[in-house]
Structure 1
């Protein structure tokens, strides 16, 4: 993490580097590029300085000629120097404030310079500059006495003017920092949303492709171990391989289409509506179990729940699908029991059991991220997931998902 320019902190959780475009800060080693808004502001500041300078002309009419010439030259130069306020705000303020301790026509530029420092620099810099402005009032009051107002009243008036200008600059700086921090938070939220969407797509593809590929491996293994099988069984296994390969490619093609749709090319319109492929629901569990049975698995399904919302049922479907995929990979041929129970208001539970032994283990490579992904999916849904061997020699995946009394739009 880095600190903002000058050391001021913008957001409690983060410390940012303020962009020069936001605060208009310039550096001595690069040229400042003004936007249209910057040009308007700079012209306004220049006119304000010139206006205050012109108001001070009557005050020097009775001065000696050489002093009047010095006043006019320094007043003109100070007004022209306003165009350098973005590159050297502190230096301009120090010079003009020091000269304003005696010279009358430098006062307009010193006010603008003080305002610029208050906007562009943190308190540890702008505070001492403001203190210098207050200190320069002392010699000014003695060297430039007013005939129509006392020194005390005149000093209080000038002090109020300086503090008002400084407070105005502080308010503008705080507002710019707030806007900048809100933009940063919005950008972070957008990046977080993109990351979550990528994780969601990756999780869905892992669940789908792991299931399809394990089915392919199961049927291919059957052909490998039984090359002398009847022609009908070989044709059935080949058809199952072709079907699952087609479904896997179709799932992959749909997700790639989603990714391409969410990242349009140059010149293409951006559409925020990302088309999702059809998602399975709780009603598709019997179809999933029947598909596993046709592949040779011994799966028993016990459903004791009804009216499960779509979102909740989709999460449960993915958990059961991944659990069956793991059972097929590590305990092929062993009987698997799937038990689903739940009622509205108490939650929905799923338990997948299978013995640890295997007659036909599938030698499939894996990243060992399936159970981790299931745990993350359950936790994101507000539930829990447990998995591991039991003393009875079984491997159990047990999940619980909340099922509220009232169905929300996300669950519907």
Structure 2
């Protein structure tokens, strides 16, 4: 299943603009901007000079001078096209009706509008420029060019410049979309890495809890028994001391193995002594029950699963961890009570696990606990595709029920 990460648009925009907000001033012209603006200015001035030469040939000196002045002002106004592209294009289109020398500046302004403004705005400004070009043919006719030809040339030039500007706009939008997609992909990759690290930490914490809680609880319970029963028979004291020693040794060994896994850069590298630590399965459940029985706990196991090896390894490991945690809790909160484990299931129907213990009959020594074990077991069962419930039993004890899938 592919997970899609959705990032707020303002985060992507902030990454793209380097953190500059929309109201923090306009970006300064780059060297490329200066080169482009200067080139457009020179091209507009060149077209204006050609028109001025024609105007000087067939117009009076005053009209020619006015044309030249209007054309020069129009070309100078092009330096404002980045800030006010729409207003400049409209103004120059109107001026070009009476001043043919502003024709080059009009084309440059139309190009800017096509690059920076949406299509609807580009369309009506282009129509305005065509109308102005058509009216100009009648207001300032050129004797060397016929009226239909002059109108056609003006419309074709306007369409070509507008199409060129829209092509540049589309290319910029494509580049911007690819850049935003790259930034979004980079941010998503960072989020995925962060989530993977968090899941790895949670898995390590769950494994440490499952492995060490069982050993340390044995140690704590027997140490508490020695504290509350200092007058116990020597054989019982020696037996409890032996359990404490063995539990401490095994807990230390488990801790070393987990630390070895954390230190290994990859599971498939190194000597494999820690990374390839054998994982419990349903077949090792009998060993767990035998271990807690040797520690003095009463456990009754009733299982109808004939061949535990046929149970999937992940499901068997989940059952093992649930039983391990339940026995640990029963040993802490109901010492001396008999725990009943009932396991039923078959392929296709799943596994049903019931763990029950009655209420304690005597005083319970205080044992520290955070209550995170049952929460972790619920999460583990859910991740395995099953479910887990727990709570007080009607007889005052405690019950844990879990169902886990067992594919046919």
TM-score w.r.t. structure 2 length?
0.71
**CA-CA distance at 1:310 after TM superposition:** 1.7
Distance in 2, matches of 1:392 and 1:25, equals 63
Distance in 1, matches of 2:115 and 2:249, equals 67
Partner of 2:10: 16
Distance in 1, matches of 2:242 and 2:107, equals 89
Deviations 1:353-382 (A, max 9, x none): 111234352421222222222111111111
Give runs of aligned pairs for residues 70-219 of structure 1, distance below 5 A. Answer: 91=83, 93=85, 97=89, 101=93, 102=96, 103-106=102-105, 110=109, 113-114=112-113, 117=116, 130=122, 134=126, 137=129, 141=133, 147=150, 149-219=152-222
Partner of 1:361: 364
Which residue of 320, 344, 349 maps to 1:346?
349
Instruction: Return closer, same or farther for 1:362/1:33 CA change in 2, 3 Å cut-off.
Output: farther
Answering whether residue 265 of structure 2 is matched by residue 283 of structure 1, we say no
Instruction: Return closer, same or farther for 1:362/1:228 CA change in 2, 3 Å cut-off.
Output: closer
Partner of 1:391: 394
Hey, which of these two has a bigger chunk of helix by percent? 2
**CA-CA distance at 1:67 after TM superposition:** 5.8
Gaps of 5+ in 2: 53-63, 97-101, 138-148, 267-273
Q: Give the match's secondary structure for 1:357.
A: coil
State whether residues 341 and 355 of structure 2, in contact with CA within 8 Å, keep that contact through their aligned partners in structure 1: yes
Distance in 1, matches of 2:276 and 2:122, equals 60
Q: Give the match's secondary structure for 1:366.
A: coil
Partner of 2:55: none
Instruction: Return closer, same or farther for 1:97/1:33 CA change in 2, 3 Å cut-off.
Output: closer
Distance in 2, matches of 1:196 and 1:173, equals 34
State whether residues 96 and 113 of structure 1, in contact with CA within 8 Å, keep that contact through their aligned partners in structure 2: no
Q: Which moved more, 1:359-368 or 1:311-320?
A: 359-368
Q: Give the match's secondary structure for 2:11.
A: coil
State whether residues 212 and 248 of structure 1, in contact with CA within 8 Å, keep that contact through their aligned partners in structure 2: yes
**CA-CA distance at 1:140 after TM superposition:** 5.4
Gaps of 5+ in 1: 1-10, 83-88, 119-125, 264-273, 406-412
Answering whether residue 50 of structure 2 is matched by residue 61 of structure 1, we say yes
State whether residues 345 and 404 of structure 1, in contact with CA within 8 Å, keep that contact through their aligned partners in structure 2: yes
Instruction: Return closer, same or farther for 1:314/1:114 CA change in 2, 3 Å cut-off.
Output: farther
Distance in 1, matches of 2:231 and 2:367, equals 24
State whether residues 353 and 395 of structure 1, in contact with CA within 8 Å, keep that contact through their aligned partners in structure 2: yes
Partner of 2:303: 303
**CA-CA distance at 1:326 after TM superposition:** 1.3
Partner of 1:323: 326
**CA-CA distance at 1:68 after TM superposition:** 5.4
Distance in 1, matches of 2:129 and 2:258, equals 71
Deviations 1:214-238 (A, max 9, x none): 1111211232233244545433322
State whether residues 348 and 401 of structure 1, in contact with CA within 8 Å, keep that contact through their aligned partners in structure 2: yes
Instruction: Return closer, same or farther for 1:61/1:15 CA change in 2, 3 Å cut-off.
Output: closer
State whether residues 126 and 158 of structure 2, in contact with CA within 8 Å, keep that contact through their aligned partners in structure 1: no
Which residue of 316, 324, 343 maps to 1:313?
316
Instruction: Return closer, same or farther for 1:92/1:258 CA change in 2, 3 Å cut-off.
Output: farther
Instruction: Return closer, same or farther for 1:332/1:20 CA change in 2, 3 Å cut-off.
Output: closer
TM-score w.r.t. structure 1 length?
0.71
Distance in 2, matches of 1:400 and 1:219, equals 32
Which residue of 359, 382, 389 maps to 1:379?
382
**CA-CA distance at 1:319 after TM superposition:** 0.7
**CA-CA distance at 1:191 after TM superposition:** 2.3
State whether residues 388 and 401 of structure 2, in contact with CA within 8 Å, keep that contact through their aligned partners in structure 1: yes
Distance in 2, matches of 1:65 and 1:231, equals 124
Matched length? 363
Partner of 1:410: none
